[in-house]
Structure formats: structure tokens, C-alpha cells
Amino acid sequence: MKLKRSFLALFLFAALAFLFAACDGGEETDADGSGESEGTEGSQTGGTLNIALNAQPPTLDPVVTTSTASRDTARMMFESLLVLNSEYEPTPLLAEEVENDNNQNFTFHLREGIMFHNGEEMTAEDVVASMNRWKENENQASEIIGDNEFEEVDEYTVSLELDEPSSLIMGIMAIAGQFGAIMPKDIAENAGPDGVTEYVGTGPYEFVEWAQDNYIHFQRFEDYQPLDEEPDGLAGARTAPVDEIYFYIAPDSSTRLAGIQSGEYDLAYQLPFDSYQQLMETDLKVEPSLAGDMILQYNSADGLFSDPKMRQAVNAALNIDEILQASLVDPEIYTMGANLMEDENVQWATDAGEEYYNQNDEELARQLLDEAGYDGEEVKIVTTRDYQHYYDSSVVIQEQLENLGMNVSLEVYDWPSLTDLVQDESAWHMRVNGYTFRPNPTQVLYLQPTTAGVGQDDRADELMDSIAEADTEEEARASWEEMQEYVWSEYLPGTKLGRYSHLYVMADYVDGFVYSNGGIFWNISVNK
């Protein structure tokens, strides 16, 4: 079977894990889910696009990090063999077509004449080096591919053979975060554990400069060859209408807010949720785009909360309405519900376990605490003010649990320190964190034992394996419904609080913005 852009639907019908009928995560820019960019049509309008970035990326190498700041900047210059379209379907980008033999043997025919930013043509040896490096760093890819490797067949053909069939691997290859960035062979092979420091890709913009704590500068790549297709999520045509793009690093939300209002920035994102109504009364364009789930993650791997009764007690006590009103502020920018996948995702969406969501039942919570033998031990919630909604949620959760009689402390760190701290599973009990949408349940990070603080659970492992190994779509969905019921009723590595939006705000002269697995900053024109 061959996967071509013109025959994509046929392949996807056969690929169990990626049948989706709706657009990406609450995309509000294009109601029909087309992902088309308004007003660009590939034309060069010139000028500079100034974007306020909410965090300093730890690296510009997407292969070694799941950071959204790294993802959003790195994909300006790096591309992958496959990407997700607006319906989360894996779609060729640097691959011209993919031959798929029973989800076990794959042959990737590369687009010819694709140029790297250093002036060299992309060939199979570059793809092999890049993809083998990627599969060693991406956990699910490493698990599925194992000791097998991508291999060069000829100058423009690459193969991959798996020990066992996997209906998930194509989607993992197309994932937006920690994606398989294709770069020249020598750069990929010489990369260290902290990532590459020479940024050479094939994307519509090429790297110019990274002034630490100040800005990241890209310019149009004049030899870029876009696809002759309509933009569709991360798939389709990528164009470079403006000459230059600057991502200004502005971690303080009030700085980003003031900058977009004054005209210092043309576009800013992750603005304060409590500014939503204020911004709606201006001439600025405001795009609240559902981005992921805010989760109260329990440290189920070590300490007090390795006891599921403790996790169930907290889940029973939570008044989630109160938490979301305090942290996400406006019901127009958040949603509630037990579904752990996107509501529009007809393959996986389910309300299984909804009776355990937002129980707000103090009597049940106290009963469960008694069953757990809780005796006033200190419970540590760790959080950060760098993401204000995490902090605000944590404050309300602390108050609710203290009203229950629990001894709760709140420890506040900057974001880099917090990400380091949670690796020590003896140092914390709970934290609020955001998790972006994933194409299928096996990729949800807070359900994976490889994620810091997530304890091993035999039943959860068994159900996840049954999803990955299912022969039919119906069998996979049934296993996921059983898994979600088990997550809510017993396992509970985390409590889903609500579905949050990212607030993207831009000047009225900025056209073509689309949200799909993060903001898309190519295909944007500045028409002052």
C-alpha cells in the first residue's frame, strides 16, 4: 500500500490509530478545520513579524525536548518526513510517498531537489542519520522500533522494518512535539546529548541568530520549495510572506500584554487569561485556541500518593468549578468534562468514568483518607508563577484540601527549577501541569510510566498494550474506553481539571494565523 498525498484517505482508513473526523483541538481560526491561511496565497509581502514568546527555549533542537517554546521556534527551520494535518492524520511533507506493507515494512520515497539552508541537497543519508538519532530520543519511537534502524535504499529512498506490526508508528513519526527534524548527516551524527548547536534545516525560514534571553531571529529561505497544496494544519503549502521573523523572549505576561497593546509586538501568545475580556474590547485580533488539558498530577511513583486511595480521596474532594474560575477565569476559554482525548476526536473521545469527575464530595474524600490511613503527614504541592494558571489552580487546591483537614504546603519555583525538581520523586506529591493534545491515547504523557512521577500499573500497561495491538478500530476503542474508566475509578495518575486555551493576540494588520498543534507562523503576512 502506498501513502501519497492524493491517496491519503485510503491509507488512513487502514491505519487504525489515526482515524479522526474533526479538526485540531478546538481550532477557532478556521471553523471548517481547513487550516487555510487567509490573505497570504504564498505571496511575499515583505517586512518583519515580531512575536512575543512566553519562555526561553532550552534548545532549538526539537529532537531532544518536548518544550513547546522549542517546538514553535524550531519548526520554522526544521521539517520532518510526515506531519499531522488539521484532523491529526499523518501526511507526507519531506516524503513524496510512503509504501506501507502491513504496518511493519515502510518505504519512504523522498522529494527530490529539497535544499538545506547550507545549499546542499537533502538525500537519503541525511534522512537516515536524522531519523535514527530521533528514534533514540523519542520514547515511543524507541520502544516500537527497538534495535531496528532506518536504512538507505538509494539516494532518495529510505526503509524501516519493524519486528512487529504497529499501527501507531506513522502517527508517532508525524507528531508535532519532539519531531524528527531532518538535518544534514554530519550535523545529526555529531550531535551531543544536549542537542545540536548548528541549525540547518529545510524549512521556509532559516536561522540567523539566537541572542540568549532577548530574541531568536529567522529570515526567509529563498530556495525553499513549498508543496503545491492548500495548507491544512501542519501539512500542505508552507510559504514565507515576510522577510524576517523575530521571536522576542518575554516570560513576563504583563510585558507581552503591554507590548502587543503598544505595537512593539505584532503577535503575542499565552497572554493572561484575566485579560481576555479587556482584549476583546480592543481592535486587536484575539484567538483563544484550545490547546490541551490542565492536570493535577499525583506522584504515584513514590511516597504518600503511591497509595491509590490517597489519589482517589483528593479527586473526590476537588471542586473543579472553583479551581477553573480562579485560574482560567472565563468559560469562553476553557471547557470541563471527563474525556481525556479531544471532544471532536471521534475515534477516541469518550465520557467513560465521568461519574468520578468533579465530585466535590467531602464525605467520600474523608472516608477514602481514613482507608488510606492518612495521619496528617505533610503534602507538598510544587508549582510555578511562570505559568500563572498553574499557580492559581494550586492555591485553590491547597485551600480545598486544607478545609478537608489535610496538611498541605505550597512550594513555588521558577519553571526550569520545577522541571528539574519533579525528576526527584521523593521531593513532591502533587503539581498542576498542562499537557497538549496527542493523536492517540498511548501518547498521553501523564499516563506513561516514563514520565516523572507516574507509577507503574500492571492493569494500565495491559490496557495500553491492547490498544496498540488491536486488530480493528472497534477493539482499540473498546480498550481505550475500559482504560479511561480505570484511570478515573482506580488508577488516577492525575485528575483532569479542565481543557485550556492559549490566547494568541495579534495586530489587525496580521493575516494568516492558524493554530494547529501550536501556533503556525509561516504563511503569515504583515499588511501595514
Q: Domains of the chain: which residue ranges? A: 2-266+507-526, 292-501
User: With 0-12 CB in 10 A as exposed, 13-18 as middle and 19+ as buried, what is 415?
Assistant: middle
pLDDT computed for residue 495 by the predictor? 98
Rounded Cα distance, 99 and 219, in Å: 35
* CB 518 within 8 Å of CB 27: no
Rounded Cα distance, 137 and 458, in Å: 25
* CB 309 within 8 Å of CB 372: yes
Specify the DSSP class assigned to residue 449.
Answer: T
Q: Identical fold at 2-266+507-526 and 292-501? A: no
- Residues 6+ away with beta carbon under 8 Å from 37: 231, 239, 511, 512, 513, 514, 520, 523, 524
Rounded Cα distance, 414 and 77, in Å: 29
* CB 505 within 8 Å of CB 269: yes
Find cell 515494512 and name the residue: 105
Q: Which of 75, 502, 21 is nearest to 291 (CA)?
A: 502
Distance of CA 421 to the CA centre of its chain: 21
Helix count and strand count (H, E) for the chain: 15, 22
Residue 291, phi then psi, degrees to nearest 5: -120, -25
220: which strand partners? 205
pLDDT computed for residue 22 by the predictor? 31
184: which strand partners? none
- Residues 226-279: tens digit of each pLDDT: 999 999 999 999 999 999 999 999 988 899 999 999 999 999 988 988 899 999
User: With 0-12 CB in 10 A as exposed, 13-18 as middle and 19+ as buried, what is 490?
Assistant: middle
Specify the DSSP class assigned to residue 491.
Answer: I
| DSSP per-residue codes, 290-308 | EEEEEEEEE-TTSGGGGSH
Q: Which of 44, 29, 6, 5 is nearest to 522 (CA)?
A: 44
Residue 206, phi then psi, degrees to nearest 5: -110, 150
The amino acid at 181: A
Cell numbers representing residue 167 in the block: 499501527
* CB 371 within 8 Å of CB 309: yes
Rounded Cα distance, 463 and 460, in Å: 5
pLDDT computed for residue 43 by the predictor? 67
- Residues 172-214: tens digit of each pLDDT: 899 898 999 999 999 999 999 999 999 999 999 999 999 999 9
For the packed helices 308-317 and 388-403, what is the interaxial angle rounded to 10 degrees?
100
Rounded Cα distance, 100 and 165, in Å: 10
Rounded Cα distance, 257 and 275, in Å: 8
Q: The domain 292-501: what is its CATH number?
A: 3.10.105.10
Positive or negative CA dihedral for 324, 53, 411, 312?
positive
Name the CATH topology of 2-266+507-526: D-Maltodextrin-Binding Protein; domain 2 (3.40.190)
Cell numbers representing residue 156 in the block: 532518495
> In whole angstroms, how large is the CA radius of gyration of the chain?
23
Beta carbons within 10 angstroms of residue 449's beta carbon: 15
The amino acid at 19: L
50: which strand partners? 246
pTM summary value: 0.78
**Edge-to-edge strand ranges of the sheet holding 2-4:** 2-4, 95-101, 105-110, 157-161, 151-154
Cell numbers representing residue 199 in the block: 541549525
pLDDT in tens, the chain (528 residues): 455 543 343 333 334 333 333 333 332 323 233 333 343 445 678 999 999 998 889 999 999 998 889 999 999 999 999 998 887 789 999 999 999 998 899 999 999 999 999 999 999 999 999 999 999 999 889 989 999 999 999 999 999 999 988 878 898 899 898 999 999 999 999 999 999 999 999 999 999 999 999 999 999 999 999 999 999 999 999 999 999 999 999 988 899 999 999 999 999 988 988 899 999 999 999 988 888 899 999 999 999 999 999 999 999 999 999 999 999 998 988 999 999 998 877 778 999 999 999 999 999 999 999 999 999 999 999 999 888 899 999 999 999 999 999 999 999 999 889 989 999 999 999 999 998 888 789 889 899 998 999 999 999 999 999 988 776 778 889 999 999 999 999 999 999 999 998 899 999 999 999 988 889 999 999 998
Distance of CA 267 to the CA centre of its chain: 20
pLDDT computed for residue 4 by the predictor? 52
* Measured CA distances, 353 to 300, 358, 364, 389, 426 (Å): 19, 11, 17, 26, 30
Specify the DSSP class assigned to residue 490.
Answer: I
Rounded Cα distance, 343 and 347, in Å: 10
- Residues 6+ away with beta carbon under 8 Å from 392: 326, 327
Residue 158, phi then psi, degrees to nearest 5: -130, 145
pLDDT computed for residue 410 by the predictor? 98
| DSSP per-residue codes, 69-115 | HHHHHHTTT---SEEE-TTS-EEESSEEEEEEETTTEEEEEEPTTPB
Rounded Cα distance, 433 and 297, in Å: 7
